[in-house]
């Protein structure tokens, strides 16, 4: 389990970014997702709001600057960035 009960290990933002980058390898071509979709609901809820915002910024920068299989698309009505899996080959990050 990534986020242990009792707070014995809470990943830092860089670790969360690596987890998110790895999770996109499990998505199918054409799937649309938010960063929060790359985590289990209870795991996402355990991340502080400030860390979630920072993670979103870091993930967006990664998507824009790296050879990734996900493409940045429009935002949701609540301002969350959406991504779509493109036809690039799966890669291990």
3-39, pLDDT tens digit by residue?
A: 554 556 789 999 999 999 999 999 999 999 999 999 9
Has residue 91 been placed in a domain? no
Has residue 67 been placed in a domain? yes
Domain total for the chain? Answer: 1
Has residue 92 been placed in a domain? no
Has residue 33 been placed in a domain? yes
pLDDT, residue 10, reads: 83
What is the β-pairing status of strands 81-85 and 32-33?
Answer: antiparallel
How high is the mean pLDDT of the chain? 88
- Residue 7: closest CA among 46, 49, 53: 46
13 in Cβ contact with 58 (< 8 Å): yes
Has residue 5 been placed in a domain? no
pLDDT, residue 69, reads: 85
Has residue 37 been placed in a domain? yes
CA 31 to CA 41: how far, in whole Å? 18
Full domain range(s) for residue 62: 13-85
Residue 1 scores a pLDDT above 80 = no
State the pTM of this model. Answer: 0.82
- Residue 80: closest CA among 40, 52, 41: 52
């Amino acid at each position: 389990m990534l986020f242990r009960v009792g707070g014995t290990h809470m990943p830092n933002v860089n670790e969360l970014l690596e987890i998110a980058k790895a999770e996109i390898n499990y998505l199918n071509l054409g799937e649309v997702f938010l960063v929060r979709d790359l985590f289990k609901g209870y795991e996402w809820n355990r991340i502080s709001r400030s860390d979630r915002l920072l993670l979103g910024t870091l993930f967006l920068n990664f998507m824009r600057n790296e050879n990734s299989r996900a493409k940045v698309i429009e935002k949701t009505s609540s301002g969350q960035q959406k991504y779509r899996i493109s036809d690039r080959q799966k890669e291990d990050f």
